[in-house]
Amino acid sequence: MRVLLAGGGTLGSVTPVLAVVQELCKRDSGVELLWVGTKRGPERKLVERFGVEFKVITSGRLRRWLTWQNLVLPFRILWGLFDSLLVLHNWRPDVVFHAGSFVAVPVTWAAWLLRIPVHIHQLDWRPGLANRLSAPFATSVSVSFKKSLHDFYSQRTVLTGNPIRIEILKAAKENSYELFGLSANRPIVLVLGGGTGAAALNQLIVETLPFLRSDFQVMHITGLNKMVQPPNWIGMYLQFDFLNERMPSALAVADLVVTRAGMGTLTELAALGRPAVIVPMPGTHQEDNAELFVQADAAVRFSQNSSAVDLAKLISSICSDREQLGSLSLAMHKLSNPQATELVTDLVLAAVHHRRQSDR
């Protein structure tokens, strides 16, 4: 069986697909995999660590501000469609699977033209443009939340939850303290700027640290090429632009996570029951994602336009209140579906079966 995977630009569309890759390989050790992604996105390093062949195609992304790049967007999409047709024709997959992203759109269209089944997964509370453009050409769709069932064609849409990678769930907490040189007796705050980085959040963290007590231990993942000048602070501060195989260990030891509101990250935190302060990117789907977790009492929302002093007070308050940490953790767990990876994998395989039945 051959499965072509697509996604990139950010890691949000990548991590749930990799979770399904692990389940596919567990069920069929002979499965062949090919990933189609972007040239400059952060996904290649992570994908290749899983032993999946990676191929780049031309792709275009709609920018929601005035820029000349939007003028050439139709031509880049058309070029991406030709690239996709060539890849699919030469490699001949049994199914295409993706979880959104602009690079997946021409792949989906090409698969439909070549009568190759496509399964797509919707992570976020609000459907992204890529999945809205892909869904009419998909064999089936899985969604993370019940509300999303009404956003796609109902007969082809299934509620599954969001797939989680095995290593996220299996990381040993005790070994992780030693890996990073951290103490289990002092509060640990993990800051996630996202795979491509969040400059505003990174700057806010740098301004916040001098207002935190010196017993705090802060691990700050800035995003690729987004390293910042370390602050003048006497507490323990570790900065990374990207954590690959060490990310599960970082999540394992965190007492509190300060993060953007990408649904891939939030559902990993839910699976682990990690309390979070969510700083959504203003004016984006992340605000809807954040609101979902806040309404469920699973996280606390913080505006990136608020002051560093206020963020330091919030972090200190939560980390000093064991009851609140426990309450947030319990509510986080309730937003996770442990069977999500298996359910989505079932749908990918069902799409293959549907094609083979149609070809008879």
Query: Which residues fall in the annotated binding site?
Result: 165, 286
Element (H, E) at 118: strand 118-122
CA distance to 270, 311, 350, per residue, from 300 (Å)? 14, 11, 39
Number of other residues whose CB lies within 10 A of the CB of residue 72: 11
CA distance 31 to 349: 11
The alpha helices in 135-260, defined as continuous H runs, are 166-170, 173-180, 199-208, 247-253
Binding residues for UDP-N-acetyl-alpha-D-glucosamine: 165, 286
Rg (CA), the chain: 21
CA distance 99 to 109: 15
Contact 121, 353 (CB under 8 A): no
Contact 234, 262 (CB under 8 A): no
CA distance to 29, 166, 245, 342, per residue, from 26 (Å)? 6, 11, 20, 11
Supply the DSSP string of 185-210, one letter for each residue: TS-EEEEE--TT--HHHHHHHHHHGG
Long-range interactions of 333-339: CB distance < 8 A, separation 24+:
333/270, 333/271, 333/273, 334/296, 334/298, 335/267, 335/270, 335/292, 335/293, 335/296, 335/298, 336/161, 336/164, 336/267, 336/270, 336/271, 337/160, 337/161, 337/162, 338/271, 339/160, 339/161
